Amino acid sequence: MKLAKLLSADRILLDMKAVGHWPAITELVEHLVEVGALAAGLKEETLASLKAREEQVSTGIGCGVAIPHAFSDALEDVVAIFGRSRAGIDFEALDNAPVHSIILFIVPRKDYHLHLRTLAAIAKMFTNCEIRRQLGEAETRDEILAILDSKPSRVAAPGA
């Protein structure tokens, strides 16, 4: 499965409003709830899981990219969202650079290995500076999806 298959146009924020690490994560999770991709009753649990993960070490991996992620006992399928900030977000990234692209995902706890493969595929894709440039210049959600779909960023399906 390609990374783009985890997303849809309503799970892409082209212009995030947050300027800080935790407000950015909150903005993305609240958007997932707004579009019905995450049940409202799971919002606080999801934020708590993401916060616990971020307290270990920032998921700002460098080069303007962050990949916040967590597990959930309540989900059956991976839930993901892409957010972009043209101004940049202080994400306490490993290289201290502002973050412009965030892929947040929540994985069912039962699919632990899918979590690792998803994380690796996203990190690999975003090491490509051309992809980061294209995502930064894209004008529409559909363009973002096309960029993510055109690249060999395969994420193994559960059980694969």
Mean pLDDT of the chain: 88
Spatial CA neighbour of 18 closest among 99, 130, 128, 112 = 99
Domain 3-150 class in CATH? alpha beta
pLDDT at 63: 92
What would the pLDDT profile of 1-37 be if each residue is shown by its tens digit? 467 788 999 999 999 999 999 999 999 999 999 999 9
**Cα(69)–Cα(46) distance, rounded to whole angstroms?**
10
pLDDT at 158: 42
Domain map (residue ranges) of the chain: 3-150
Produce one character per residue of 12-31: b if its CB has 16 or more CB atoms within 10 Å, e if not: bbeebebeebeebbbbbbeb
User: pLDDT at position 4, please?
Assistant: 76
pLDDT of res. 84 = 97
Provide the 8-state DSSP code for 3: G
Return the number of other C-beta atoms located less than 10 Å from residue 69's C-beta: 21
Residue in the structure block whose two tokens are 């690792």: 116
3-state secondary structure of 37: coil
Report residue 81's pLDDT band, with 50, 70 and 90 as the boundaries.
very high
Instruction: Kindly provide the b/e burial profile for residues 122-138, where b requires at least 16 CB atoms within 10 angstroms of the residue's own CB.
Output: beebbeeeebbebbeeb
